[in-house]
């Protein structure tokens, strides 16, 4: 009936409202590092007596699909369950822990070593994956997210992503690109990549010789990335605010380029219209404030790791590589992952 974001952060509130959500401002008491989701939900209910069922969706599970939530809502509203939570099936053998100094052996928990079977032949076990918890109001007011007439909802393994620690983040990024939800509109293939030269293809540094000739450096990996994009049928075009036509000629990239571009967005719009592409088919890699509007317009946008703060804020993807140090190749790999997602959706 309504979608709310619970936060005590101004920027999160702003973004939530831009996407059509309503915002509940958390009090300082339930905004501590040690605060639980249950505490925040109970506070919310104190301000919203009209709500009788809460679906608590965890932001750390970014592969959740609307179809799952619709089915879970039906379990409570139509089948009479008091609480429903998400699980995933895992095929992992468990052993008892032996703490240091204890004089005992480990014991199998869910297998018989004498009759060990292949994991793929075993139905596995159900584990909570923390993606969502649905519960009726009376349970939450008693301090429970699970209770009463309970049911679990088994999510597909590829949709079960839980970010707990730093190393989970890159795994989640890959999963979202391959299995995430991209809205009702069909995914479009990227057909054009526009890359800012200074600070993306190069590291932004200009070396001047004694005879006043300019030199720049670039990474061979980025040239490989450009060639791979071309092989996939993706056009690559370059753009720069300064006149670097001689440098481009020397690099022999074979790409259409626009130099001395005072209005990058206008150039991007002209190219988009000339080729006849929708914005979702355009990718943009930039790094400066002058790239922000292009980053916002493009269907896929990225910046190198050392891009300016406003560009990072506008981009959908922040590379781990710096400009001139493999960022173009990395962003190309990011595009290839999206293409795999498009092809997978078509097969389905």
Q: Cβ neighbours of residue 215 under 8 Å, at least 6 residues apart?
A: 206, 207, 208, 209
pLDDT of residue 347: 65
CA 5, 177, 343: angle at the middle one, nearest 5?
Answer: 135
Which residues of the chain does CATH 3.90.550.10 include? 52-90+122-165
Find the DSSP H helices in the chain. Answer: 10-18, 37-47, 66-77, 137-141, 168-179, 220-231, 245-251, 264-275, 292-297, 309-314, 327-347
Q: Which CATH number fits domain 192-346: 3.20.20.140, 1.25.40.80, 3.40.50.2000, 3.40.50.1000?
A: 3.40.50.1000
User: Does the annotation count 116 as an active-site position?
Assistant: yes
Tokens of 91: 């095929």
Q: How far is residue 87's CA from residue 324's CA, in Å, rounded to a whole number?
A: 43
**Residue of 25, 94, 116, 119 with catalytic role:** 116
pLDDT of residue 340: 79
pLDDT of residue 348: 62
Q: How far is residue 159's CA from residue 129's CA, in Å, rounded to a whole number?
A: 10
| Residue 101 vs residues 98, 104, 105: alpha-carbon distances, Å | 8, 9, 11
Q: Fold for 52-90+122-165, please state it.
A: Spore Coat Polysaccharide Biosynthesis Protein SpsA; Chain A (3.90.550)
126 φ, ψ (degrees, to nearest 5):
-95, 130
pTM: 0.69
3-state secondary structure of 53: strand
Which residues of the chain does CATH 3.40.50.1000 include? 192-346
Task: Please give the chain's pLDDT, 348 residues, in tens.
Answer: 899 999 999 999 998 998 889 999 999 999 999 999 999 999 999 999 999 999 999 889 999 999 999 999 999 999 999 999 999 999 999 999 999 989 899 999 998 999 888 878 889 999 999 999 999 999 999 999 999 999 999 999 989 989 989 889 888 887 887 788 877 766 678 999 999 988 898 886 777 777 777 767 778 898 999 999 999 899 999 998 888 777 777 677 888 889 898 899 999 999 999 999 999 899 999 999 999 999 999 989 999 999 999 999 888 889 999 998 999 999 999 888 888 777 766 666
pLDDT of residue 250: 64
pLDDT of residue 231: 92
Q: How far is residue 309's CA from residue 315's CA, in Å, rounded to a whole number?
A: 10
């Amino acid at each position: 009936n309504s979608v709310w974001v619970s936060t005590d952060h101004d920027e999160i509130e702003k973004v939530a409202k831009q996407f059509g959500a309503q915002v509940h401002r958390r009090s300082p008491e339930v905004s501590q590092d040690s605060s639980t989701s249950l505490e925040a939900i109970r506070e919310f209910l104190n301000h919203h007596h009209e709500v009788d069922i809460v679906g608590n969706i965890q932001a750390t599970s970014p592969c959740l699909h609307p179809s799952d939530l619709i089915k879970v809502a039906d379990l409570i509203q139509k089948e009479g369950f008091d609480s429903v939570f998400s699980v995933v099936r895992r095929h992992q053998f468990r052993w008892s822990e032996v703490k240091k100094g204890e004089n005992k052996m480990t014991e199998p928990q869910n297998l018989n070593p004498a009759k060990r079977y292949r994991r793929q032949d075993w139905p596995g076990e159900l584990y909570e994956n923390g993606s969502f918890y649905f519960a009726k109001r009376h349970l939450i007011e008693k301090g429970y997210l699970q209770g009463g007439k309970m049911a679990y909802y088994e999510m597909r393994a590829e949709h079960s992503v839980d970010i707990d620690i730093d190393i989970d983040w890159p795994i989640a990024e890959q999963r979202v690109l391959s299995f995430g939800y991209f809205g009702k509109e069909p995914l479009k293939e990227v057909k054009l990549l526009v890359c800012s030269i200074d600070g993306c293809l190069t590291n932004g540094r200009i070396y001047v010789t004694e005879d006043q000739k300019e030199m720049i450096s670039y990474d061979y990996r980025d040239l490989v990335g450009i060639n791979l994009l071309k092989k996939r049928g993706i056009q690559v075009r370059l753009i720069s605010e300064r006149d670097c036509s001689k440098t481009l000629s020397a690099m022999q990239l074979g790409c259409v380029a626009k130099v001395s571009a005072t209005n990058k967005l206008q150039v991007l719009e002209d190219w988009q219209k000339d080729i006849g592409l929708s914005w979702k088919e355009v990718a943009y890699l930039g790094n400066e404030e002058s790239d922000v509007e292009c980053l916002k317009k493009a269907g896929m946008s990225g910046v190198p790791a050392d891009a300016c703060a406003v560009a990072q804020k506008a981009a959908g993807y922040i590379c781990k590589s710096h400009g001139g140090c493999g960022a173009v190749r990395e962003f190309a790999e990011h595009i290839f992952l999206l293409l795999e997602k498009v092809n997978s959706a078509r097969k389905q």
